[in-house]
Amino acid sequence: MTEAPPRPAPAAPVRDHGAHREADPHDDGVAGTGRAVGSGVLRYGGAERATGAQQYVADLPFPDAAQVAFVTLPVARARITAIDTSAALALPGVVAVLTADDLPQPVPRFGISHQDRPVIADGEVVFHGEPAAVVLAETVDQARAASRAVVVHHEPLPGVYTLEAALAPDAPLVHHPSVRPASGPAADSNVLDDAHYAWGDLEAESARADVVVENTYSFPMVTHFPIEPGGTVVVPTADGGVEVYSPVQHPYLLQRVLAKVLDLPLTKVRVLAPDPGGGFGGKQNPRYEPLMAFLALRTGRTCRLVHSLEDTFAMMRRAACRIHARTGFASDGTVLTHELRADYLIGAYADVAPRVMSKGSYVGAGPYRIPAVRIDARAVLSNTTPSTAFRGFGCPQVAWATESQMDAAARALGLSGLEIRRRNLIGRGEAFVRGECPAPSDGDWLESLEKAAALIDHDAPRPPGRGVGIAVAIKPGATSGLSQSLVRLLYDGSALAYAGTSDMGQGARTLWQQILADELGVGLDAVSVVSGDTDRVPFDLQTSASRSTVFMGNAVLAACRDIRAQVLELFAEATETPVELLGEGPGVLLTPEGELPLPEAARIALGSLRGEFVGRGTSRMRGRSAHPLGGDAAFYEFNCTAIEVEVDTDTGELLLLKHVSVSDVGTELNPLQVVSQDEGASIMGLGHSQMEQLLVGEDGVIRNLGALDYRIPTFKDVPVELVTAAVANADGPGPYGSKGISEGALLCTAGALGAAVTDAAGVVLRDLPITPERVWRALHDQTD
């Protein structure tokens, strides 16, 4: 037994934001040249956030609003036999109590992949926290008091809360067959959907294998835990429509769903989306907005609901996963076969979870050159919080297994984790998914691996008790998309971008500001960005999958270039200059007399009538039906993470000495924001790797509900040294060669941490999170 080592002295404090960032020679080509793009332009809207002036949904004043409270049951699954609202209605301030009986019959259902979610529980609640009734009252206190006075007569029903229970032959069905699609893989089971990917000759390749490793891994249920729990306000309008305030990532999807459920034209459903205070995938899809809209239309009142953090635990989570992997290797470490069975434990409604399962497992074999692969994945319903998109979208689960398998083989063959990855990592242009729709690498991923290895000093000798792990992973970007943007260049040289991307912390508007500044030659201060209002801003499909830089970025860029072409044409007309003598470039009009700043050229072109230029930009990527994902990924997020850890064998505690994350970013449009996203994702990845898990009791009720009992990383959980770096080869499909980057740094955190713990302490952990208790138990099992 040894003394716990003292925490190493922290790195010297530094002023420059980039000091924790490894310098990249590719940066020089863009940064420091005076251009807005490529420099660390400060966050658009940052000052409002730092002073408290930024208004999130709960901060918006609605003086006449009535307040909403849900009536929930203390069980996960129950049949509702009767609801007695009389006592509640008699309480002071109560405006209305609404149940399924007050809605159109059958109660409308909505959803993304399946139309399975009722506006309010319809005869049955299927997970803990699902509202059975909803109360509207003048004050929050009155609404809550009345919600407690609603008597819901109910009969508890058996539910399934684990994969084992949900997959048992006699398992109660989470979904009544009437709301299941007939085309599902197993209509009489809880398997909602499945996905299968295979290539190569498994039998033949297996015969060549010298080493086969076979293991089962688990990844926990974790919750998004946005610091802004969120809420919804619905204002009924004079024309019979609604204005809906909700901090959603997809305002246009919410508009479409509401219009359908309420049977209203899109023009009567206006979604105003205040900036989300953190999304991480949890604020993508509609949940209670349809219920709020019915309530507002029935009562004629503005209805306001502000969620608690505890509410969000019953609203969104990441799918848990159990992965069984069998992987064959040649004696030189070449991976020959990889078989994965991944069962994602999704919740009581489909939400977007089937897509999480199919898209995540699609890259289950990792960024490797593997001749024969078979992946079988399932989305399994359970009576728990519906799982949804969560940063990484199903990829961290399978990457945990695949990366751990690589390390298991490396140990068996006497190779390092670095070396086995060097030997198997795919090269640019080579297909890591083979078959009819091959997926080729779109980056120099070996460069990221070597960079991370150098930054962690991978092969350096380390004292006993310390270890290093290195892992890689990929995530497919969007497989189809549509973003439309308008840009206006005004007479005085100021400019407006209308871009529907939700700015939830990734800093999207800052990028649009930078692009306008460079492309139109206007000052950053002269640019405004308008978003979050479906009445004013053109369509954007989604803010998800790290797509906005690429899709909306290209749309904004196209709108700027549209303006330049218009300025050229009108300038020619106004000055009677032959068009062929004119040209345009970023921020300038080229005339026979020389370069004119574009705003000046625009003023000359507009002349005494003034007016403005309106540019339009569209970025559209259609999928293709033959592709198993419905389309090729626009790009791949690739990340290499390396971790150095010290294990306290007395307590099982981990001291993270150094964490290195290298992401392939294409081009850093804003290096400061890339650092923020990479560091943030790294630490979020440490959350699910080290400490986070939702604990569901045998009754289906979450046991660690709220911030006291559910731990997320704090300042004190940050590794002693946290280093992020980018590989930037300008090889992405976005503006200036950029790619999306917001998820990469958490894809393979778990694999790197697990390998580091094994290297340090000799124990292998296959269940996340790697808690001190699990490490301690593994150490004791080993010595017994």
Partner 1 sequence: MTTFAATGPSPDHEDPAVTVSTTVNGEHRTMSVPAHRTLLEALRDQLALTGSKTCCAEGECGACTVILDGHPVTSCLVLAVEAEGREVTTVEGLAPQPGELSDLQEEFLAAGAVQCGFCIPGQVVAAECLLRANPTPSTAEIREGMSGNLCRCASYERIVCAVHATAERRAGA
Q: How far is the CB of 39 from partner 1 (least distance, A)?
A: 12
Is 743 a catalytic site residue?
yes
Q: How far is the CB of 296 from partner 1 (least distance, A)?
A: 22
Q: Can residue 56 be called a binding residue for partner 1 (CB under 8 A)?
A: yes
Q: Can residue 23 be called a binding residue for partner 1 (CB under 8 A)?
A: no
Q: How far is the CB of 749 from partner 1 (least distance, A)?
A: 12
Q: Can residue 610 be called a binding residue for partner 1 (CB under 8 A)?
A: no
Residue type, 512: W
Q: What SS3 state is found at 502? A: coil
Q: What SS3 state is found at 222? A: strand
Q: How far is the CB of 8 from partner 1 (least distance, A)?
A: 10
Q: What angle do helix axes 395-413 and 417-424 make, rounded to 10 degrees?
A: 110
> What separation in angstroms does the CA of 221 have from each of 104, 162, 346, 408?
35, 10, 9, 25
Region from 41-49, 334-342, 466-474, 571-579 binding partner 1, contact rule CB under 8 A: 41-49
> What separation in angstroms does the CA of 552 have from each of 443, 531, 644?
22, 12, 38
Q: Can residue 156 be called a binding residue for partner 1 (CB under 8 A)?
A: yes
Site for partner 1 in 79-98 (CB under 8 A): 81-82, 87-88, 91
Site for partner 1 in 488-517 (CB under 8 A): 504-507
Rg (CA), the chain: 27
Shorter beta-carbon distance to partner 1: residue 417 or 713? 713
Separation of alpha carbons 343 and 363, rounded Å: 15
H helix runs in 576-670, sequence order: 598-606
| # residues near partner 1 by CB under 8 A | 89
Closest CA relative to residue 735, chosen from 516, 537, 565:
516
Neighbour count for residue 10 (Cβ, 10 Å): 8
211, burial (CB in 10 Å: exposed 0-12, middle 13-18, buried 19+): middle
Shorter beta-carbon distance to partner 1: residue 5 or 607? 5
Region from 55-63, 248-256, 412-420, 512-520 binding partner 1, contact rule CB under 8 A: 55-63
Selected binder of partner 1 within 45, 586, 623, 630 (CB under 8 A): 45
Q: How far is the CB of 228 from partner 1 (least distance, A)?
A: 4
End-to-end alpha-carbon separation of the chain, Å? Answer: 16
Tokens of 367: 């960024």
Separation of alpha carbons 560 and 567, rounded Å: 11
Q: Can residue 152 be called a binding residue for partner 1 (CB under 8 A)?
A: yes
Q: Can residue 38 be called a binding residue for partner 1 (CB under 8 A)?
A: no
Q: Can residue 688 be called a binding residue for partner 1 (CB under 8 A)?
A: no
Q: Can residue 64 be called a binding residue for partner 1 (CB under 8 A)?
A: no
Q: Can residue 581 be called a binding residue for partner 1 (CB under 8 A)?
A: no
Shorter beta-carbon distance to partner 1: residue 384 or 661? 661
The site map against partner 1 for 655-674 (x = CB under 8 A) is -----------------xx-
Separation of alpha carbons 529 and 17, rounded Å: 25
Region from 43-51, 180-188, 414-422, 561-569 binding partner 1, contact rule CB under 8 A: 43-51
Tokens of 631: 């389309």
Q: Can residue 708 be called a binding residue for partner 1 (CB under 8 A)?
A: yes
Q: How far is the CB of 719 from partner 1 (least distance, A)?
A: 9
Region from 219-227, 476-484, 583-591, 696-704 binding partner 1, contact rule CB under 8 A: 219-227
Selected binder of partner 1 within 22, 54, 369, 590 (CB under 8 A): 54
Q: How far is the CB of 594 from partner 1 (least distance, A)?
A: 37
Q: What SS3 state is found at 184? A: coil
Shorter beta-carbon distance to partner 1: residue 517 or 722? 722
Q: How far is the CB of 645 from partner 1 (least distance, A)?
A: 18
- The number of C-alpha atoms within 13 Å of 219 and in the hemisphere containing its C-beta is 34
Shorter beta-carbon distance to partner 1: residue 506 or 548? 506
Separation of alpha carbons 259 and 293, rounded Å: 10
Q: Can residue 675 be called a binding residue for partner 1 (CB under 8 A)?
A: yes
Q: Can residue 6 be called a binding residue for partner 1 (CB under 8 A)?
A: no
Beta bridge partners of 345: 320, 380
The residue from 205, 637, 679, 743 that is catalytic is: 743
Q: How far is the CB of 732 from partner 1 (least distance, A)?
A: 21
Shorter beta-carbon distance to partner 1: residue 74 or 611? 74
Region from 142-150, 433-441, 599-607, 640-648 binding partner 1, contact rule CB under 8 A: 142-150
Separation of alpha carbons 7 and 526, rounded Å: 48
Q: Can residue 706 be called a binding residue for partner 1 (CB under 8 A)?
A: yes
Residue type, 601: A
Separation of alpha carbons 201 and 205, rounded Å: 6
Region from 225-233, 364-372, 380-388, 695-703 binding partner 1, contact rule CB under 8 A: 225-233
Q: What SS3 state is found at 344? A: strand
- The number of C-alpha atoms within 13 Å of 487 and in the hemisphere containing its C-beta is 33
Q: Can residue 707 be called a binding residue for partner 1 (CB under 8 A)?
A: yes
Separation of alpha carbons 511 and 768, rounded Å: 36
Separation of alpha carbons 325 and 341, rounded Å: 7
Residue type, 649: T
Residue type, 712: I
Q: Can residue 34 be called a binding residue for partner 1 (CB under 8 A)?
A: no
User: Which positions ≥6 away from 354 have C-beta within 8 Å?
Assistant: 113, 114, 192, 193, 346, 379
Separation of alpha carbons 389 and 112, rounded Å: 11
Q: How far is the CB of 506 from partner 1 (least distance, A)?
A: 7
Catalytic residues: 743
